[in-house]
Amino acid sequence: MDDVDFHHPLFLHPFDTPGTVLVSHRLTGVENYTVWSRSLRIALLAKNKLGFIDGVCLRSVYPESLRAQWDRCNAFVLSWILNTVSPDLSAGLVFASDVAAFWKDLKDRFSKVDGSCIFFLHRSIAHLTQGDASVFSYFTQLKLLWDEYTALVSFSDCACEVAQQNSNHLLQQRLFQFLMGLNETYAGVRSQILLMQPLPSVNRAYSMIVQEEAQRSFSSVLSPVPDPVAFSSTASGSRKKFTGTCDFCKLKGHKKESCYRLIGFPPDFKFNRKKAPPSALAVSSDDSSLPPPSALTFTSQQYSQILELLNKTQVPVAPAVSCAEFDFAYCLPS
């Protein structure tokens, strides 16, 4: 048998087995034939077996000494293709003998490139938006539709200036499609991209959007969240009782700006309420931080009666209780 080296299409690696699954996509019908065939062609090209499905590596072109090896390679490629076809479809394909004819049969049955197919593909591209998906997921899905469209529609390989202009126009349309599908939260960076001269490529615009998305994610993670317990503790701590002395009346327990002698007494001030019994007068002067209201005045005759009554009863007056705090209501003549 003629020598078959590593670069020969009939070479089989020792690790090659008929049960190998070359691609993750499984052919299920017309809906995914384009993606499946593209993936499998790439895998067979890597195996140096693409000529078997293209009709280049025919059995008749090899000498008699290599035809047995060709039969082995043909069986391997058939097995690899069958491994990527759904069970519902593979049942009617196991009797194929020539891999090139087998591949052509699949293409005739499932490759339906017509106006309706291209129309629905265009509509999917036009209606695709980001929604709740990440920028990565949205762009990946959009690029998959673009690649499928490129595989269905043949473009000119001409290198002339007109062909280059058409190619640039197609790339610009894809940039606009990508930006239109983004959420409105990216309106700012989208405007910056559209103001750039010249317009960036789709990949460059995608990179800028992803950077903006990552920056927002980091900002949301690093933003401090208020602790309700700490906030409550701070708020309660800020309401501590004032222990200094008023600059106006020189009494303790309040500041000058809240001094009732300066701003006036409120209607419901405690000295205007019903007086407590005499036993309640035995309190420290420090507990009363405000002076008596100035409205409590007596005539000279009333003062004389009070002094006379005090001299008769000899009621001791505690030094810690001011005269204004004494309940004179019970000792005045009726």
Max mean pLDDT range (21-35, 154-168, 286-300, 310-324): 21-35
Q: Does the pTM of the predicted model rise above 0.75?
A: no
Percent of the chain with pLDDT over 90: 32
Q: How many CB atoms lie within 10 A of CB 17?
A: 11
Q: How many CB atoms lie within 10 A of CB 173?
A: 12
Do the Cβ atoms of 292 and 322 come closer than 8 Å? yes
Confidence of residue 286 (pLDDT cuts 50, 70, 90): very low
Confidence of residue 52 (pLDDT cuts 50, 70, 90): very high
Three-state secondary-structure class, residue 28: coil
Confidence of residue 68 (pLDDT cuts 50, 70, 90): very high
Whether residue 108 is predicted with pLDDT greater than 50 in this model: the reply is yes
Whether residue 294 is predicted with pLDDT greater than 80 in this model: the reply is no
- Burial class of residue 39 in the structure, from the number of CB atoms within 10 Å of its CB (0-12 exposed, 13-18 middle, 19+ buried): middle
DSSP for 185-224? GGHHHHHHHHTSSSPPPHHHHHHHHHHHHHHHHHHHHHSP
- Burial class of residue 308 in the structure, from the number of CB atoms within 10 Å of its CB (0-12 exposed, 13-18 middle, 19+ buried): exposed
Spatial separation of the C-alpha atoms in residues 30 and 109, rounded to whole Å: 8
**Longest Cα–Cα distance in the chain:** 150
Spatial separation of the C-alpha atoms in residues 137 and 147, rounded to whole Å: 15
Whether residue 136 is predicted with pLDDT greater than 90 in this model: the reply is yes
Confidence of residue 223 (pLDDT cuts 50, 70, 90): low
| pLDDT score for 150 | 84
